[in-house]
Amino acid sequence: MNFDEIIDRKGTHSAKWDMMDKLYNVPADDGIAMWVADMDFRPPACVQGALERMVSHGIYGYYGGDAEYRAAICWWMKERHGWEVDPAAIFTTHGLVNGTALCVDTWTEKGDGVVLFTPVYHAFAKVIKANGRRVVECPMVLESGRYEMDFDAYEDILDGTEKMVILCSPHNPGGRVWSTDELRQVAEFAKKHDLILVSDEIHHDLVMPEAKHTVMANIEGIEDRLVMMTATTKTFNIAGGHSGNVIIPDEKLRADFNAKMMGLGISANSFGIEMAEAAYSPEGAAWVDALVAYIDGNRKVFDAGINAIPGLKSMGLEATYLAWVDFEGTGMSREEFTRRVEEDAKIAANHGPTFGTGGESFLRFNLATPRAYVEQAVERLQRAFADLQ
Ligand SMILES: Cc1ncc(COP(=O)(O)O)c(C=O)c1O
């Protein structure tokens, strides 16, 4: 568990490092990749061990007998989140973008509206649009530097053709951990507008020490319209395994989803399952605790350095490793602050507008990297915006 170790990922088909030149014009040799949400850390030894056992056995046939895998998920959710999961409620998809697409396809028709609280994880809108549904943006408001939902304003936005709402909990990119009160309001909103509520909780293990995440499944009275999405991939840095869990408490909704999975011929791959089962273990839990402490240290270094630059504001992270930085106070155009970050500081960071309304003046920086990179990034940004000091 040496999160300070710099592991060279260049030339390994890493999207984060090997695509930054093409996508952001940030040179591979001395650029710092701080965009897509994967980490520059190896997963815990228990995950490596599971893969090594597969490799040394050397036969990669179809997977069968997933009782232990389901039991590991149930153990983790109970132990880490106080959530009792019925093993029969779990469906394994090829990741949670795939899970989102399956939900949209199962419970909405072409032309239906799907509500998003923006700015939010960009793949939601991409998947909704690619399936011929409409994105209904409900912009969040900034209150004392953090995002909140404004349900009164949303009454004027919805027109009754919406069928689903997707909540990102904890929130990417704002790093919010929603309070139980806020979760209850989302549940009430879903009920009032007769929406299926999809709660994407892929970041729910990466919660900073001062915050407390509540799983939506523990909010009463929403079971009959709730779809939970969880995964080991963000938590343990195994996104290449393309595996996620869609967990559905209600039996009727479960039958709908099962029919869609059958219709599309979807079954899980053994690599994702073996890694997840190994990860959801006491050893995996100890590793996550150490990881969160490390990210907590990184965000403190980053925030202190960034907030010292006049005009830049890094939003206080309650969860995730994704820092959401507002450049509005610089008075610069989006092109200019982005140019300084990419050309001058040589940092690849996600562009705010891809997250929808409200993201225009932001860039998102991935802090799940050795501290030395975070420190270098801060120095480079301070230099790139030195004229504001
Ligand atoms: C909220 C959210 N959901 C889903 C994903 C991606 O999930 P997957 O890799 O399982 O498709 C991400 C990745 O950043 C995310 O932030």
- 243-302 pLDDT, tens digit each: 999 999 999 999 999 999 999 999 989 999 999 999 999 999 999 999 999 999 999 999
Reduce the DSSP state of residue 230 to 3 states and report it: strand
**Side-chain-side CA neighbours of residue 117 (13 Å):** 31
pLDDT of residue 389: 79
- Alpha-carbon gap, residue 171 to 232, rounded angstroms: 17
Residue 142: predicted pLDDT: 95
For the entire predicted model, the pTM comes to: 0.97
Q: Residue 355's pLDDT is what?
A: 98
Mutate to test the pocket of ligand 1, among 16, 36, 96, 122 (most ligand atoms within 8 A of CB): 96
Model pLDDT, residue 1: 82
96 C-alpha to center of ligand 1: Å?
A: 6
Phi (first) and psi of residue 229, to 5 degrees:
-125, 125
H helical segments located in the chain: 15-18, 20-24, 45-57, 67-81, 96-107, 122-130, 151-155, 180-192, 233-236, 251-264, 270-279, 282-307, 334-339, 371-384
* Structure confidence at residue 124 (pLDDT): 98
Ligand 1 first shell, C-beta below 6 A: 37, 95-97, 121, 168, 172, 200, 202, 231, 233, 239, 244
Q: What angle do CA 227, 285, 187 make, to 5 degrees?
A: 25
Which residues of the chain are modeled with pLDDT < 50? none
- Are 329 and 364 in contact by the 8 Å Cβ rule? The answer is no
